[in-house]
Amino acid sequence: MTGFHGIHAILYALFDDQERLDRAAMRHQVEVCIAAGFHGMAALGHATEVLKLSEGERRTVMDWVAEDTAGRVPLALTICGTSVAEQVAQVKHAESVGADWVILQPPMVGSYGAAEYIRFFGRVAGTTNLPVAIQNAPAFMGRGLSSADIVDLTQQYPNIRLI
């Protein structure tokens, strides 16, 4: 990815009447966004209700969105999980399907000081050469980093480029 610009659509997880991810609806959503001129796509954030999806559903969304965008626009995939190992496995899957960058969410267990979150994000970011963003939304997630913490984080881990 050469740079970050423009408007990136955040995709929803769409389900059928059997409460399964709806392949046709997901594909249609991507096509509508591309036709509308969005500069990029992202999936598996709050709009996708990522924390309510199973691991298998998250991988399915990654697979489908990557297949449907097919390199036409930059693709970001949000990574969530309670451990470094879980997030690293998702980062590796995101890489394997062609994500252009990833967005890391803090683990939604426990409550820790900034230094622990910085170490956590750094351990995950250190496993990839992809650009990394941090979802820093304390009002929604109940945890977050200060401006000074973010400066420290990005100085320690240069591939963390977006907040």
Tell me whether residue 111 is in a domain: yes
pLDDT, position 162: 80
User: Which structural domain range is residue 124 located in?
Assistant: 8-162
Q: In CATH, what number is assigned to the domain containing residue 49?
A: 3.20.20.70
b vs e for 68-107, b when ≥16 Cβ sit within 10 Å of the residue's Cβ? bbeeebbbbbbbbbeebeebbbbbebbeebebbbbbbbbb
Tell me whether residue 1 is in a domain: no
Tell me whether residue 155 is in a domain: yes
Tell me whether residue 84 is in a domain: yes
Give pLDDT tens digits along the chain (163 positions): 456 789 999 999 999 999 999 999 999 999 999 999 999 999 998 766 777 899 999 999 999 999 999 999 999 999 998 899 999 999 999 999 999 999 998 886 667 777 888 899 999 999 999 999 998 665 465 567 778 888 888 898 989 988 7
Tell me whether residue 30 is in a domain: yes
pLDDT in tens, 68-84: 999 999 999 999 988 99
pLDDT, position 21: 96
Tell me whether residue 112 is in a domain: yes
pLDDT, position 128: 96
How many domains are there within the chain?
A: 1
Tell me whether residue 113 is in a domain: yes
CA angle 140, 29, 91 (to 5 degrees): 55
